[in-house]
Protein backbone atom coordinates (compact mmCIF):
# COMPACT_ATOMS: atom_id res chain seq x y z
CA UNK A 1 0.00 0.00 0.00
CA UNK A 2 1.63 3.33 -0.97
CA UNK A 3 2.20 5.79 1.86
CA UNK A 4 1.28 8.85 -0.19
CA UNK A 5 -0.61 9.83 -3.30
CA UNK A 6 -3.18 12.21 -4.70
CA UNK A 7 -6.87 11.60 -4.22
CA UNK A 8 -7.93 13.43 -7.40
CA UNK A 9 -5.55 11.99 -9.94
CA UNK A 10 -5.14 9.78 -11.77
CA UNK A 11 -8.88 9.20 -12.04
CA UNK A 12 -10.26 5.85 -13.19
CA UNK A 13 -12.07 6.13 -16.50
CA UNK A 14 -15.83 5.48 -16.47
CA UNK A 15 -16.56 1.76 -16.14
CA UNK A 16 -19.49 -0.45 -15.16
CA UNK A 17 -18.36 -0.57 -11.53
CA UNK A 18 -17.18 2.01 -9.05
CA UNK A 19 -13.48 1.83 -8.20
CA UNK A 20 -12.54 1.24 -4.55
CA UNK A 21 -8.97 1.69 -3.30
CA UNK A 22 -7.78 1.24 0.29
CA UNK A 23 -5.31 3.97 1.28
CA UNK A 24 -4.69 2.92 4.87
CA UNK A 25 -5.77 -0.15 6.83
CA UNK A 26 -5.16 -0.14 10.57
CA UNK A 27 -7.03 -1.89 13.42
CA UNK A 28 -8.93 1.29 14.29
CA UNK A 29 -9.78 2.59 10.85
CA UNK A 30 -9.68 1.86 7.15
CA UNK A 31 -9.41 4.78 4.76
CA UNK A 32 -10.80 4.28 1.28
CA UNK A 33 -10.99 6.26 -1.95
CA UNK A 34 -14.01 5.64 -4.16
CA UNK A 35 -14.38 6.92 -7.72
CA UNK A 36 -17.93 7.04 -9.13
CA UNK A 37 -19.06 8.01 -12.60
CA UNK A 38 -22.85 8.22 -12.44
CA UNK A 39 -23.06 5.02 -10.39
CA UNK A 40 -25.82 4.25 -7.92
CA UNK A 41 -26.47 1.37 -5.53
CA UNK A 42 -28.54 -1.39 -7.10
CA UNK A 43 -32.28 -0.89 -6.78
CA UNK A 44 -33.42 -2.12 -3.39
CA UNK A 45 -29.86 -2.54 -2.06
CA UNK A 46 -29.00 -1.04 1.34
CA UNK A 47 -25.65 -0.76 3.05
CA UNK A 48 -26.02 -1.95 6.66
CA UNK A 49 -22.58 -1.80 8.24
CA UNK A 50 -21.44 -2.92 11.69
CA UNK A 51 -19.17 0.12 11.98
CA UNK A 52 -19.61 3.88 11.70
CA UNK A 53 -18.51 5.43 8.42
CA UNK A 54 -17.40 9.01 7.83
CA UNK A 55 -17.62 9.98 4.18
CA UNK A 56 -16.86 13.11 2.18
CA UNK A 57 -17.39 14.07 -1.45
CA UNK A 58 -14.04 15.54 -2.44
CA UNK A 59 -14.98 16.24 -6.06
CA UNK A 60 -18.25 15.90 -7.96
CA UNK A 61 -21.67 15.39 -6.43
CA UNK A 62 -23.87 12.65 -5.04
CA UNK A 63 -27.11 11.89 -3.26
CA UNK A 64 -27.28 9.48 -0.33
CA UNK A 65 -30.63 7.98 0.64
CA UNK A 66 -31.60 6.60 4.06
CA UNK A 67 -34.29 4.05 4.76
CA UNK A 68 -36.38 6.56 6.68
CA UNK A 69 -36.86 8.40 3.39
CA UNK A 70 -34.30 11.17 3.95
CA UNK A 71 -32.10 12.15 1.04
CA UNK A 72 -28.78 13.91 1.56
CA UNK A 73 -27.35 15.90 -1.37
CA UNK A 74 -23.58 16.23 -1.29
CA UNK A 75 -21.21 18.48 -3.21
CA UNK A 76 -17.45 19.04 -2.96
CA UNK A 77 -16.39 19.33 0.67
CA UNK A 78 -19.63 17.94 2.11
CA UNK A 79 -19.13 15.23 4.73
CA UNK A 80 -21.45 13.12 6.83
CA UNK A 81 -21.08 10.59 9.64
CA UNK A 82 -23.19 7.49 9.06
CA UNK A 83 -23.75 5.61 12.35
CA UNK A 84 -23.30 1.85 12.54
CA UNK A 85 -26.31 -0.04 11.18
CA UNK A 86 -27.82 3.10 9.66
CA UNK A 87 -29.19 1.69 6.41
CA UNK A 88 -28.25 3.82 3.42
CA UNK A 89 -27.64 3.63 -0.29
CA UNK A 90 -26.08 5.77 -3.01
CA UNK A 91 -29.05 7.21 -4.83
CA UNK A 92 -27.00 8.91 -7.55
CA UNK A 93 -23.58 10.31 -8.37
CA UNK A 94 -22.33 12.81 -10.92
CA UNK A 95 -19.48 12.16 -13.33
CA UNK A 96 -15.94 11.99 -11.92
CA UNK A 97 -17.08 11.93 -8.32
CA UNK A 98 -14.35 11.19 -5.76
CA UNK A 99 -15.26 10.07 -2.24
CA UNK A 100 -13.11 9.70 0.81
CA UNK A 101 -14.47 7.16 3.30
CA UNK A 102 -13.21 6.35 6.78
CA UNK A 103 -14.56 3.06 8.12
CA UNK A 104 -14.13 2.98 11.88
CA UNK A 105 -13.58 -0.16 13.92
CA UNK A 106 -16.79 -1.87 15.04
CA UNK A 107 -18.03 -0.50 18.32
CA UNK A 108 -17.14 -3.00 21.06
CA UNK B 1 -20.47 17.32 17.45
CA UNK B 2 -22.43 17.86 14.20
CA UNK B 3 -22.98 14.77 12.07
CA UNK B 4 -22.48 16.58 8.77
CA UNK B 5 -20.95 19.74 7.36
CA UNK B 6 -18.71 21.12 4.67
CA UNK B 7 -14.95 20.99 4.98
CA UNK B 8 -14.31 24.04 2.82
CA UNK B 9 -16.78 26.53 4.22
CA UNK B 10 -17.16 28.52 6.31
CA UNK B 11 -13.43 29.12 6.51
CA UNK B 12 -11.91 30.67 9.62
CA UNK B 13 -10.42 34.09 8.90
CA UNK B 14 -6.63 34.42 9.22
CA UNK B 15 -5.61 34.49 12.90
CA UNK B 16 -2.41 33.98 14.91
CA UNK B 17 -3.20 30.30 15.45
CA UNK B 18 -4.37 27.48 13.20
CA UNK B 19 -7.96 26.38 13.78
CA UNK B 20 -8.54 22.72 14.75
CA UNK B 21 -12.00 21.17 14.72
CA UNK B 22 -12.83 17.55 15.57
CA UNK B 23 -15.42 16.12 13.17
CA UNK B 24 -15.63 12.58 14.58
CA UNK B 25 -14.16 11.02 17.70
CA UNK B 26 -14.44 7.26 18.08
CA UNK B 27 -12.20 4.74 19.89
CA UNK B 28 -10.49 3.73 16.64
CA UNK B 29 -10.03 7.09 14.99
CA UNK B 30 -10.39 10.83 15.40
CA UNK B 31 -11.10 12.92 12.31
CA UNK B 32 -9.99 16.52 12.38
CA UNK B 33 -10.23 19.55 10.12
CA UNK B 34 -7.39 22.05 10.29
CA UNK B 35 -7.42 25.50 8.68
CA UNK B 36 -4.04 27.16 8.15
CA UNK B 37 -3.29 30.61 6.77
CA UNK B 38 0.46 30.72 6.25
CA UNK B 39 1.12 29.01 9.58
CA UNK B 40 4.13 26.84 10.32
CA UNK B 41 5.18 24.78 13.32
CA UNK B 42 7.32 26.78 15.75
CA UNK B 43 11.04 26.72 14.99
CA UNK B 44 12.56 23.54 16.38
CA UNK B 45 9.19 21.98 17.23
CA UNK B 46 8.49 18.41 16.10
CA UNK B 47 5.29 16.42 16.27
CA UNK B 48 6.08 12.96 17.72
CA UNK B 49 2.78 11.11 18.00
CA UNK B 50 2.02 7.69 19.52
CA UNK B 51 -0.44 6.95 16.73
CA UNK B 52 -0.31 6.93 12.93
CA UNK B 53 -1.80 9.94 11.19
CA UNK B 54 -3.26 10.11 7.69
CA UNK B 55 -3.40 13.64 6.39
CA UNK B 56 -4.59 15.28 3.17
CA UNK B 57 -4.46 18.84 1.87
CA UNK B 58 -7.99 19.41 0.61
CA UNK B 59 -7.42 23.00 -0.48
CA UNK B 60 -4.32 25.20 -0.59
CA UNK B 61 -0.74 24.01 -0.23
CA UNK B 62 1.76 23.03 2.42
CA UNK B 63 5.19 21.60 3.03
CA UNK B 64 5.83 18.94 5.67
CA UNK B 65 9.35 18.37 6.96
CA UNK B 66 10.71 15.20 8.52
CA UNK B 67 13.65 14.95 10.89
CA UNK B 68 15.69 12.94 8.38
CA UNK B 69 15.74 16.10 6.24
CA UNK B 70 13.04 15.09 3.77
CA UNK B 71 10.51 17.70 2.71
CA UNK B 72 7.12 16.75 1.29
CA UNK B 73 5.29 19.36 -0.79
CA UNK B 74 1.52 18.97 -0.79
CA UNK B 75 -1.17 20.46 -2.99
CA UNK B 76 -4.93 19.87 -3.20
CA UNK B 77 -5.68 16.15 -3.06
CA UNK B 78 -2.23 15.11 -1.86
CA UNK B 79 -2.29 12.73 1.10
CA UNK B 80 0.37 11.02 3.18
CA UNK B 81 0.44 8.44 5.97
CA UNK B 82 2.74 9.47 8.81
CA UNK B 83 3.72 6.44 10.91
CA UNK B 84 3.57 6.56 14.70
CA UNK B 85 6.60 8.34 16.19
CA UNK B 86 7.73 9.67 12.81
CA UNK B 87 8.92 13.14 13.80
CA UNK B 88 7.55 15.82 11.52
CA UNK B 89 6.63 19.47 11.42
CA UNK B 90 4.68 21.83 9.21
CA UNK B 91 7.36 23.76 7.38
CA UNK B 92 4.96 26.15 5.64
CA UNK B 93 1.38 26.55 4.47
CA UNK B 94 -0.27 28.76 1.88
CA UNK B 95 -3.27 30.97 2.55
CA UNK B 96 -6.66 29.32 3.16
CA UNK B 97 -5.19 25.84 3.43
CA UNK B 98 -7.61 23.15 4.62
CA UNK B 99 -6.33 19.82 5.97
CA UNK B 100 -8.17 16.65 6.78
CA UNK B 101 -6.40 14.54 9.40
CA UNK B 102 -7.29 11.06 10.60
CA UNK B 103 -5.58 10.13 13.86
CA UNK B 104 -5.67 6.37 14.31
CA UNK B 105 -5.77 4.62 17.66
CA UNK B 106 -2.34 3.92 19.18
CA UNK B 107 -0.93 0.62 18.00
CA UNK B 108 -1.39 -1.95 20.80
pLDDT tens digits, residue range A32-69?
Answer: 999 999 999 999 999 999 999 999 999 999 999 999 99
Interval B48-77 mean pLDDT: 96
The whole-angstrom separation of Cα B71 and Cα A49 is 39
Q: How far is CA A28 from the centre of its chain?
A: 18
Interval A12-25 mean pLDDT: 92
Instruction: Name the nearest CA neighbour of A7 among B61, B102, B80, B48.
Output: B80
Would you call A79 and B28 a contact, using CB atoms and an 8 Å cutoff? no
Checking if the pLDDT of A90 tops 60, the result is: yes
Within 10 Å of residue B20's Cβ, how many Cβ atoms? 11
pLDDT at A5: 97
The whole-angstrom separation of Cα A46 and Cα A99 is 18
Interval B40-55 mean pLDDT: 95
Looking at chain B, which residue has its C-alpha nearest residue A3?
A: B81
The whole-angstrom separation of Cα A53 and Cα A105 is 9
Report how many Cβ contacts below 8 Å link chain A to chain B: 96
Would you call A58 and B78 a contact, using CB atoms and an 8 Å cutoff? no
Length of chain B: 108
Band of the pLDDT at B22, cuts 50, 70, 90? very high
Give the mutation candidate from A53, A81, A83, A88 for the B interface (greatest B CB count, under 10 A).
A81
Checking if the pLDDT of A19 tops 90, the result is: yes
Between these two residues, B108 and A105, which has the higher pLDDT value?
A: A105
Compute the nearest-CA separation of B92 from chain A (Å): 19
Would you call A23 and B79 a contact, using CB atoms and an 8 Å cutoff? yes
Of B31, B54, B78, the CB nearest to A54: B31
pLDDT tens digits, residue range B93-107?
Answer: 999 999 999 999 875
pLDDT at B2: 85
Of B6, B79, B108, the CB nearest to A7: B79
* CB contacts, 8 Å: A81 with chain B: 3-4, 23-24
Domain ranges of chain B: 19-62+69-104
Instruction: Name the nearest CA neighbour of A3 among B101, B54, B92.
Output: B54
Compute the nearest-CA separation of B98 from chain A (Å): 10
Checking if the pLDDT of B48 tops 70, the result is: yes
Compute the nearest-CA separation of B21 from chain A (Å): 14
Band of the pLDDT at A107, cuts 50, 70, 90? low
Q: Is B27 on the interface with A (CB under 8 A)?
A: yes
Query: Can you give the pTM of this predicted structure?
Result: 0.94
* Homologous superfamily of A19-62+69-104: Jelly Rolls (2.60.120.10)
Q: Are B67 and B46 in contact (CB under 8 A)?
A: yes
Amino acid sequence: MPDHGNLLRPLAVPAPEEVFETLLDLPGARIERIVSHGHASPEGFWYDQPQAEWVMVVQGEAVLAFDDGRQHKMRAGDWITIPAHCRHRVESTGPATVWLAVHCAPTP
